[in-house]
Amino acid sequence: MRTAGLILTTIMCVTAAWASLEDMIPAAKEVQQLDVTVPTDGGTIRLVQDTPMARIAAAEINSRIEELGGKALGVSLIGPDANVRGVSHAWIVLGTAGARTWDVYGPKPADLRVTPDDPGPQGYAIGSDINRRAPTFALAGSDPQGMLYAAVTFRHMLEVQDGHVVVRAANVRDAAQKGDMERAKELSVEHLDKMHRYVDWLLRHKINMMRAHGSWSGGEGGLTAWERGIIKQVNEYAKERGITAVFGSNISIGRYPQDKDNPDF
């Protein structure tokens, strides 16, 4: 077991050190490698929308830079009056299609042919504009998940060159694997069928309360619109049958420190 763990650790370290677009799994559908590298030193990550998902995407990029021995980049919200005159360091811009504020140098979603429907759910494009004084890398998602996946792909564009972390410029376009999306839909249908049978069982035993399906650890804030839709269908199915979905928590009686002095346990 110790040997297996050491082998796994070694593999993980090698993967972290040599990640690239060529060995990325799953591979992006369209990749145009450019024979140019841009240092990340002094660069910045600009968010078109300041959302939790955008912050996670920025953290993914910064964690890779730090893994390679570089310094994490500053992260800030870009305003409609963004001014890059006099700026010569790399800009990494994160956002989704449809956002009004893409007023920066470099590719815009329209230039990258990114809309909410193209490449579609979980899809994204990365555009590298290296012909300006402020090299810009635009990471545009069709939706927030696509933007996050663009950041994950961007990690593979980072490498070390002459002791500095650099971006190996590329233009990338990718979409969710069709098979994955179809399987996800199949699973949602299977889940709804199981939950409907569960609610039917409650009704036939005259039970009028159940735990809200969606109150798991992490709360509803981390759910996608698709996941919320499935949960809503389950809870509405129950409500139509007089069954109330409630949020709640429990403890394992007598096991936790707060129970140790309770004589009833």
Q: In this structure, what token pair is assigned to residue 71? A: 């310094």
Helix H or strand E encompassing 76: strand 74-77
pLDDT in tens, 137-182: 999 999 999 999 999 999 999 999 999 999 999 999 998 765 566 6
Enumerate residues 6+ apart whose C-beta is below 8 A from 154. Answer: 60, 61, 92, 126, 137, 139, 167
pTM value is 0.63
CB atoms under 10 Å from CB of 174, counted, come to: 22
Angle at 92 between CA 90 and CA 94, to 5 degrees: 170
Tell me the torsion sign for CA atoms 147, 149, 155, 156: negative
CB atoms under 10 Å from CB of 95, counted, come to: 27
Count of residues making up the chain: 265
Of 148, 176, 152, 149, residue with least CA distance to 53: 148
pLDDT in tens, 224-247: 677 778 888 888 888 888 888 876
